[in-house]
Amino acid sequence: MKPNPPVLLLGTFLALVAAGGALLLSKDKSPSALSAPAAAAPVADKDFAVDAKTPASPVPAPTPRDERFVIKRILPITGPIRYGEWHWDAKGVPAGPLVVTVDLDARVLSVFQGGYEIGATAVLLGTSEKPTPLGVFPVKWKDKDHYSSTYDRAPMPFTMNLTVDGVAIHGTKVEKGYASHGCIGVPDPFAAKLFALAPVGTKVYITRGKMVGKGDSLVEG
């Protein structure tokens, strides 16, 4: 029996459609594809893990103040110190390092022992042409009976030299209207007390208008 061509073509088309469906089912609907678990995310090795929050370095504790230089007492002086006036009271004050301060605005020199003010006096200072310098100066040398090598051998009793060019603390007549050539002049009796107490190396702080009081440090700021 001779086959009918149209019927043959239809049979071939249906066979191709069935084969294609079988391929789609095996690719997208296979039991293995439906049951396979999702791939697990990689786990970092704990030995190589890095902590993003690195701890900050500890802040160093502030250096404590040296209590030997903290002001513990101010002499009870009423009103400004007049020219020629001086005060001294070391009774009951414990031993401690000596510090001398000079305020150019107040024109006052103070002596502190272990933070206790034991002496204060009005002073003579330099002129605008030869001013008293600002800064911190250690006493370089002392001479009880010193005479100026620059100014006609003027007497400078109880000299405590501060600079290489001759600025010093020394005794003199402290009166209004007088001035020095840069030195710090104090009354002779006060100069004698300071000279006897202050060793070479004693620090002298010369400032302008610096205000300090109880609880402040003499050597800071």
Map out the domains of the chain as residue ranges.
68-207
Q: Which residues contact 135 (CB under 8 A, 6 or more apart)?
A: 206
Tens of pLDDT, residues 132-146:
999 999 999 999 999
Helix (H, G, I), strand (E, B) or coil at 175: coil
Q: What gap in Å lies between CA 90 and CA 87, rounded to an integer?
A: 10
Does the reported pTM lie above 0.75? no
Give per-residue pLDDT as tens, 28-81.
444 444 444 555 555 555 554 555 566 677 777 777 889 999 999 999 999 999
Amino acid at 50: V
- CATH of region 68-207, choose from 2.130.10.10, 3.40.640.10, 2.40.440.10, 3.40.50.620: 2.40.440.10
